[in-house]
């Protein structure tokens, strides 16, 4: 069983969300303060038995800011499930919530109380509503012809074909929530509801083994209490305690282990680790990152044991920032493990390491809008073909997946543009691209079509400028290879969120401008190219437009040393008197305006 759809209305920063959720792992991404944590908390309102009821009674701050709270409204969180048919436990738990074959629905609503709704219907309510006039309810099922997005605050359950659903009915559906600022070290220390205690309970220990453990502890306790030093210390404490309290409040003091019961043994068990250097040390000697992995491992094993013993009606892990305290390699291994687990997980992240490993179908993106609520989208549903999805999944490595988090994106062909455009623009135009929310992403080719399709109303509705070379060679340099494919028509990719900005030729040729001669001379000198350095110095003395032959030589030099290396060295020498190619300047202007 898995959550297959989420609908949210008017919860915190989320005005309206309607997204499908894939099986396995789902990764929620977006800029800071766009509502990723609110997405997780909305799921908990509807599904998490462990969430105190007081949290389901919302406060003013939990309602979308543009809602007039003096008038009737609702906060709605709707969940649809699939994949439960054939599993007795899951079918039993969802009994009465089905809306079709292998499809069930639960929804949480925070809306005016019944008496208030009746008074409003009879025009018998004076004054303005306050938050105290609202209450929450959980319901299941409903007329499949009435979509979750169509439910209004005054729709009674009977009219919707739905019935009340007790949150306690979800006891067998385990929701584990790991907040972003989690203290896994504290949770690894034993307490009644820790992950270790739940795992021990799930595995089960038979009565005979329990009694044997109690005898071992009782024997150890007796031996400790019989120690002469321990007895002396206990008597000294006992005397001092009685001196302080007086006879009316005194209690006898002994030293020993806690009462030898099986419950006390479980409560006092702790996780012990071993390394090549140290044997049997506690997790607090670990770094936070490794303890994070240890905590998740215990949690996952608890899920496995529940499922194996037939106690489970499904599991869901909600994790904020699984990358917390982890270096890149451990981030990679953790996300790979989560993707391969048989349990559904929904996580939020700011890590390009995490997103580089996740399939495109697993992403839910939250995109901020000026003066409005964020838009939630599933990029894989933006009209991409299967081959385009495969291409994107191959190309969305740790660097390129930065585009999932950016407010605005500049797509460029290769490393040369990636390395040189940001410092050049900062020096000449005094525009810091990062501070303006613009991420430069190199796709290492001209296959912009799949990327462009993602930047749409159905995918990721954020501005995307394609900055591309026309790759037209200089007039004196005709192509002599008949097999060179025609360049793609980049301008055909333009849409509401995508605009193309093309240079007349390659990036290096566009850089070969009189104002950039000092930059180019220092660059080729640092690279060790004395002949082209002499030619550039001669051109500087001569003045005038740059000859086509000299432009060709700059391009040839960049290719010989490597375009990325050429750009990396050139970035050292940018200054305010340099020249930014016009097509790049136009692209930045467009991004800043949108």
**Distances from the Cα of 538 to the Cαs of 516, 532, 552, in angstroms?**
14, 10, 16
In angstroms, the CA 390 to CA 191 distance is: 46
Instruction: Give the percent of the chain with pLDDT over 70.
Output: 85
Q: Terminus-to-terminus CA distance in the chain, angstroms? A: 42
Q: Which tokens sit at 564? A: 């990325």
State how far the Cα of 218 lies from the Cα of 198, in Å rounded to an integer.
Answer: 24
Cβ burial, residue 467 (10 Å; 0-12/13-18/19+): buried
What the block records as the tokens of 582 is 């016009």
Q: How far apart are CA 206 and CA 222, in angstroms?
A: 25
Asked if residue 251 has pLDDT above 90, the reply is no
State the pLDDT at residue 194: 63
- Determine how many CB atoms are found less than 10 A away from the CB of residue 183: 12
pLDDT at 495 over 90: yes
Q: Which of 18-32, 296-310, 388-402 has the highest mean pLDDT?
A: 18-32
As a whole number, the mean pLDDT across the chain is 86
CB 472 within 8 A of CB 428: no
Residues 6+ apart with CB under 8 A from 421: 410, 412, 433, 440, 467, 584
Widest Cα–Cα separation across the chain = 110
Lookup: tokens for 567: 């750009």
Half-sphere exposure of 296 toward its Cβ, with a 13 Å CA cutoff? 29
Query: Tokens representing 8?
Result: 């949210």
Decide if pLDDT at 476 tops 50: no
**Least trusted range by pLDDT, from 232-236, 404-408, 453-457, 530-534:** 232-236
**What are the tens digits of pLDDT across the range 82-127?**
999 999 999 999 999 999 999 999 999 999 999 999 999 988 888 8
Predicted confidence (pLDDT) per residue in 512-548, tens digit: 999 999 999 999 999 999 999 999 999 999 999 999 9
Band of pLDDT at residue 180, cut at 50, 70 and 90 = confident
Write down the pLDDT at residue 102.
96
Q: Which of 370, 356, 339, 346 is nearest to 404 (CA)?
A: 356
pLDDT in tens, 40-81: 999 999 999 999 888 999 999 999 999 999 999 999 999 999
393 has pLDDT over 50: yes
pLDDT value of position 47: 97
User: Residue 138 pLDDT more than 90?
Assistant: yes
Answering whether pTM is above 0.85, one says: no
Closest CA to 310 of 87, 104, 93: 87
pLDDT band at 583 (very low <50, low <70, confident <90, very high): very high
| Closest to 506 in 3D by CA, of 463, 542, 548 | 548
Q: Each residue of 409-424: pLDDT tens digit?
A: 999 999 999 999 999 9
Do you know the residue count of the chain?
594
- Residue 336 binned pLDDT confidence (cut-offs 50, 70, 90): confident
pLDDT at 487 over 70: no
Q: Are 344 and 24 in contact (CB under 8 A)?
A: yes
* Tokens (6 digits) for 176: 């584990």
| pLDDT band at 549; cut points 50, 70, 90 | very high
CA distance 176 to 162: 27
Residue 193 tokens, joined:
């509801």
Cβ 549 vs Cβ 498: under 8 Å: no
What pLDDT sits at residue 507? Answer: 95
Would residue 586 be called left, alpha or beta, if left means φ above 0 and alpha means ψ between -120 and 50 degrees? alpha
Roughly what angle, to the nearest 10 degrees, separates helices 582-593 and 415-429? 80
Around Cβ 514, how many Cβ atoms within 10 Å? Answer: 12
Please give the residue that has the higher pLDDT: either 386 or 486. Answer: 386
Q: Look at residue 506 and tell me whether its pLDDT is greater than 80.
A: yes
Is residue 97 within 8 Å of residue 104, measured between CB atoms? yes
User: What pLDDT was estimated at residue 286?
Assistant: 53
Q: How confident is residue 250, by pLDDT bands cut at 50, 70 and 90? A: low
Confidence at residue 320, expressed as pLDDT on a 0 to 100 scale = 93
**Which residue in 54, 51, 67, 50 sits closest to 9, CA to CA?**
67
Closest to 14 in 3D by CA, of 25, 2, 33 = 33
Q: Which tokens in the block code for residue 441?
A: 């992403």
Distance CA 470, CA 54 (A): 61
């Amino acid at each position: 069983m898995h959550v297959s759809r989420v609908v949210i209305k008017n919860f915190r920063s989320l005005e309206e969300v309607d997204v499908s959720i894939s099986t396995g792992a789902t990764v929620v991404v977006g800029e800071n303060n766009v509502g990723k944590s609110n997405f997780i908390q909305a799921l908990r309102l509807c599904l998490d038995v462990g969430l105190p009821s007081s949290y389901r009674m919302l406060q003013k701050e939990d309602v979308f800011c543009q809602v007039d709270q003096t008038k009737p409204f609702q906060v709605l969180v709707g969940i649809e499930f699939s994949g439960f048919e054939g599993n007795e436990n899951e079918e039993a738990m969802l009994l009465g919530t089905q809306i079709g074959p292998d499809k069930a629905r639960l929804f949480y609503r925070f809306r005016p109380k019944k008496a208030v709704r009746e008074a409003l219907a009879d025009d018998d309510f004076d004054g303005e509503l306050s938050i105290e006039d609202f209450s929450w309810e959980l319901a299941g099922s409903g007329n499949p012809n009435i979509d979750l997005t169509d439910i209004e605050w005054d729709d009674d359950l009977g009219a919707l074909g739905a019935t009340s659903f007790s949150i306690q009915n979800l006891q067998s559906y385990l929701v584990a929530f790991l907040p972003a600022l989690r203290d896994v070290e504290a949770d690894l220390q034993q307490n009644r509801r820790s992950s270790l205690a739940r795992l021990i309970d799930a595995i089960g220990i038979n009565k005979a083994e329990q009694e044997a453990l109690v005898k071992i502890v009782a024997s150890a306790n007796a031996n400790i209490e019989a120690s002469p030093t321990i007895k002396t210390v206990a008597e000294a404490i006992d005397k001092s305690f009685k001196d302080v309290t007086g006879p009316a409040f005194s209690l006898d003091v002994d030293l020993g282990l806690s009462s030898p019961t099986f419950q006390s043994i479980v409560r006092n068990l702790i996780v012990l680790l071993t390394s090549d250097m140290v044997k049997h040390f506690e997790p607090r000697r670990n770094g936070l990152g490794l303890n994070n992995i240890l905590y998740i491992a215990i949690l996952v094993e608890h899920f496995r044991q529940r499922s194996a013993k037939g106690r489970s009606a499904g599991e869901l892990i909600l994790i904020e920032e699984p990358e917390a305290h982890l270096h890149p390699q451990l981030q990679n291994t953790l996300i790979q493990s989560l993707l391969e687990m048989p349990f559904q997980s929904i996580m939020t992240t700011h890590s390009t390491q995490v997103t580089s490993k996740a399939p495109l179908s697993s992403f839910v993106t939250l995109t901020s809008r000026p003066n409005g609520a964020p838009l939630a989208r599933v990029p894989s549903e933006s009209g991409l073909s299967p081959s385009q999805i495969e291409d994107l999944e191959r190309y969305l490595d740790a660097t390129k997946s930065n585009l999932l988090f950016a407010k605005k994106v500049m797509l460029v062909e290769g490393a040369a543009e990636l390395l040189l455009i940001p410092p050049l623009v900062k020096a000449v135009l005094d525009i810091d691209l990062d501070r303006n929310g613009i991420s430069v992403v190199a796709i290492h080719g001209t296959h912009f079509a799949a990327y462009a399709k993602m930047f749409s109303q159905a995918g990721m509705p954020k501005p995307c400028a394609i900055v591309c070379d026309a790759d037209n060679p200089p007039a004196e340099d005709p192509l002599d290879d008949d097999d060179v494919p025609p360049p793609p028509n980049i301008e055909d990719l333009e849409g509401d969120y995508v605009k193309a900005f093309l240079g007349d030729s390659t990036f290096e040729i566009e850089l070969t401008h009189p104002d950039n001669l000092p930059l180019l001379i220092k660059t080729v000198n640092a690279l060790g190219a004395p002949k082209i350095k002499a030619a550039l110095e001669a051109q500087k003395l001569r003045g005038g437009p740059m000859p086509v032959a000299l432009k060709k030589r700059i391009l040839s030099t960049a290719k010989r040393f490597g375009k990325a290396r050429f750009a990396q060295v050139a970035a050292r020498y940018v200054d305010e008197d340099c020249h930014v190619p016009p097509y790049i300047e136009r692209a930045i202007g467009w991004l800043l305006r949108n």
